[in-house]
Amino acid sequence: MDFTRCLTTILSVSLIINLQGCSGDSDDGPNPKYSTGLGDTTAVTTYNYDEVTPENIVFKDELSSNVAPPAGLEDLSFLDTTGQKVALKDLLGKKNVVLIFTQGFYGTLCPYCTTQTARLVANYEKFQELDTEILVVYPGEKSHLEEFIQAATKTEKNQVETVPFPLLLDEDLVAVDFFDIRSQSAHPSTYVIDKQGNVLLAYVGKDHTNDRPSVNRILESLKTEN
């Protein structure tokens, strides 16, 4: 069964069911290749998301790159939901790429991550028009990926959607360490890369809430290039 058909068989559940609390910022140490220099590397923050709903989440339209990603992006690879390898170099040169790292799972799913993914799903046609593929990376164990997919495919209008782009695993946090974005699992991060491998936007969230570029901001970075 191919990736798309596999996702279509997954029944969606409410985005906010059992989404209580989402662990925050700690760092397992700097990457000698690259450092974001963001935040306290020792503190742990626990967020209370009892009253968070997709409708009241607002991501940022006004932001600029806050990191300079390391060289060697083309060598990154991930696993899709069928266990097949997905290499970034197979896309670069053919399409623009929006590479997004979610927080991962620590006791529950982060509603900001699932809402971010749902909004990308809802706007996927706009990215296709700009010859762009979206890759959403889930750092951590595969056992929680299906739960994440189920939550992310429930739109804010309570309609069931399928995910038209790859949801990928960074199971051993290799890519997370490459970017030096560990925070228990990962800081939510967005990298917009053009066909030539140039990074148009690189943004690492300082926390696990709404410190992320909006869909409009990501599209704006692609339109400026095109």
pLDDT tens figures, 9-60? 322 322 222 332 333 333 333 333 334 545 434 344 566 667 788 889 999 9
Q: 32 vs 132, which has greater pLDDT?
A: 132
CATH topology of domain 18-51+68-225: Glutaredoxin (3.40.30)
Query: Hunting for tokens 């529950």 — which residue is that?
Result: 108
Q: Give pLDDT, residue 217.
A: 98
Q: What is the pLDDT of residues 165-219, one digit of tens each?
A: 988 989 889 999 999 999 878 999 999 999 999 999 999 999 889 999 999 999 9
Q: With bands split at pLDDT 50, 70 and 90, how would you rate the model's confidence at 226?
A: low
Q: Which long-range contacts (CB under 8 A, 24 or more apart) does 213-216 make?
A: 213/59, 213/60, 213/63, 214/58, 214/59, 214/60, 214/61, 214/119, 215/59, 215/119, 215/120, 215/123, 215/126, 216/61
Report yes or no: 49 and 111 within 8 Å, Cβ to Cβ.
Answer: yes
Tokens of 77: 């690879």
The number of angstroms, rounded, from the C-alpha of 225 to the middle of its chain's C-alpha atoms is 22
Q: Where are the domains of the chain?
A: 18-51+68-225
- pTM equals 0.76
Q: With bands split at pLDDT 50, 70 and 90, how would you rate the model's confidence at 147?
A: confident
Q: With bands split at pLDDT 50, 70 and 90, how would you rate the model's confidence at 154?
A: low
